[in-house]
Structure 1
């Protein structure tokens, strides 16, 4: 039975996502995508008038998938410090997943030609995650928005970003399978993350006490 309407659109997005990851943006043609999606070029262009438009729609899809797998800090533990540490650990775990790294690299490659797409990809993986952590910290520790954002950036700077560039440049082993939330402790060094989290939260508390 032929796919139509929203069902076809979702199918095209999934096919395009996989094709872009496998071959990159430049080497993926709309002709090839139509064949791979088992639809006509006319139907493909009816949903996505240009390859750029399709790429941006794929980024929106990746955003939804990534948010669903990251969840929010309160999902991980009842204790705020532990929830924060595990959220940071999950973020680092997800950034070590091959499709995420490949998508980041593709965004960097296309940044000059498609700055809007590159900016959206940055928001998908980094901006939205930082915002979620900032909102949680603000709620748990009675911070205003600016203080929460500053603390979130500091925490991620201490726990995630020192390691991520190594993976981005292909140093270390990537995970081909979807990272299992239950294996955070096995996949990342939670001892280091908990120590850094405790230090950052202690500095915040001491700073408030001094003020």
Structure 2
């Protein structure tokens, strides 16, 4: 039976969820942050799930309205500060991926502090993809090693990426059927699940059902069995 050791989620639909309820888009992001906590706590209690990687802010999200971006930055900093005790209580190690140098000094410090204070935790690893794009990640990885090696191997490149772990199960909420520049290298043989459910409405029951369906899939990784 397959085990979803590494689950990655594209958390889509916050803004549309709010608009459907005649609320400001930021209310959808607030609701979505609560779901992040619920899903992370659930995964931390699973014996099989080792890593949870969540697409929180992409390199393309800077194109959104300035006020929305500013709110997202404040929400992220508040979320991390408030969740630190929850991480510690649930033995969750926080490992961000992406190029966080574009963030404010205050937010960078918060990210680093939470990472350091949870570094001893040996349960679930939760990665938030922050200012992350898979193409950018691969380019940065190549630039790390190009001047040191005459010939770049798959192992070298994989080890230079922000996320060095292959994805077993990739989920996208919100109804769209695309990867949107998320973990393109790591998801080469991931099983993909798409749901119309908007992220603020996504529940642990939804996740359990997807995991159950995942366990029934015959994963051949390009082979015959």
TM-score (norm 2): 0.30
Q: Higher strand proportion, which one?
A: 2
- Give the TM-score of the pair, scaled to structure 1: 0.31
Which has the larger share of helix?
A: 1
Higher relative contact order (CA 8 A, sep 6+): 2
